[in-house]
Amino acid sequence: MTTIRRFCCNDLLRFASVNLDHLTETVSLLLLLLYFLQFYLINNCVNQWILSSLFEVKQFNMSFYMTYLARWPDYFHVAEAPGNRVMGYIMGKVEGQGESWHGHVTAVTVSPEYRRQQLAKKLMNLLEDISDNIDKAYFVDLFVRASNTPAIKMYEKLGYVIYRRVLRYYSGEEDGLDMRKALSRDVEKKSIIPLKRPITPDELEYD
């Protein structure tokens, strides 16, 4: 039994059992910084030196979750079981310009207690629906560790294809795979034609 609804701040106090699990994707410092870089350049223009103060921000911060909540609340959903137990959540965003306007899955995670019930699929479908119907995006994308075969298989089952490989994407060590799924607006499915060569993280348009 599952209620899927928008994630709210109070859920941060309930998701310990999900986040203590080893497989929950915690965001690397690099990604976080790249993210802020982009965010401030787009939104704050010249206050570039704010960046340098943000470089001090390490793992002890809440701005990561809350920035997603403040900017893309439609892309942050929680699945709840009876008794307000958090089963899992998905967080993502929508970004890009022109034909690269797309939904992005930043993290999707399900507690072991609630696995094998297709919950991740439901959460993914929700994010895809929002990207497709509300924001009229061209595609949805996500990054996955190249070694995480079970996850890659799962995403393939959900209709994602490997669009390109990002070299040393994870903490400068492991390669990431950029996987994409075209949405209805991309009639010719141009967004998912795989790139021939791998790219480096600094070539990424968005994090």
* Binding residues for another protein (CB under 8 A): 1-5, 8-10, 12-14, 16-17, 19-23, 26, 41, 43, 45-53, 55, 57, 59-63, 65-67, 69-71, 73, 80-85, 87, 112-117, 130, 133-134, 149-150
Residue 159: how many other CB atoms lie within 10 Å: 15
Sequential DSSP letters for 45-67: TT-TTHHHHHTT--SS-SHHHHH
Q: Least distance (Å) from another protein to the CB of residue 113?
A: 5
Residue 115: how many other CB atoms lie within 10 Å: 13
Contact 32, 58 (CB under 8 A): no
Contact 169, 176 (CB under 8 A): yes
Q: Kindly tell me which of 72 and 163 has the beta carbon lying closer to another protein.
A: 72
Bridge partner list, 175:
none
Q: Kindly tell me which of 86 and 142 has the beta carbon lying closer to another protein.
A: 86
Q: Kindly tell me which of 98 and 150 has the beta carbon lying closer to another protein.
A: 150
Q: Kindly tell me which of 80 and 141 has the beta carbon lying closer to another protein.
A: 80
Q: Least distance (Å) from another protein to the CB of residue 198?
A: 24
Q: Least distance (Å) from another protein to the CB of residue 192?
A: 25
Bridge partner list, 107:
91
Q: Least distance (Å) from another protein to the CB of residue 4?
A: 8
Contact 162, 172 (CB under 8 A): no
Q: Least distance (Å) from another protein to the CB of residue 190?
A: 26
Reading the block at residue 66, the tokens are 């809350």
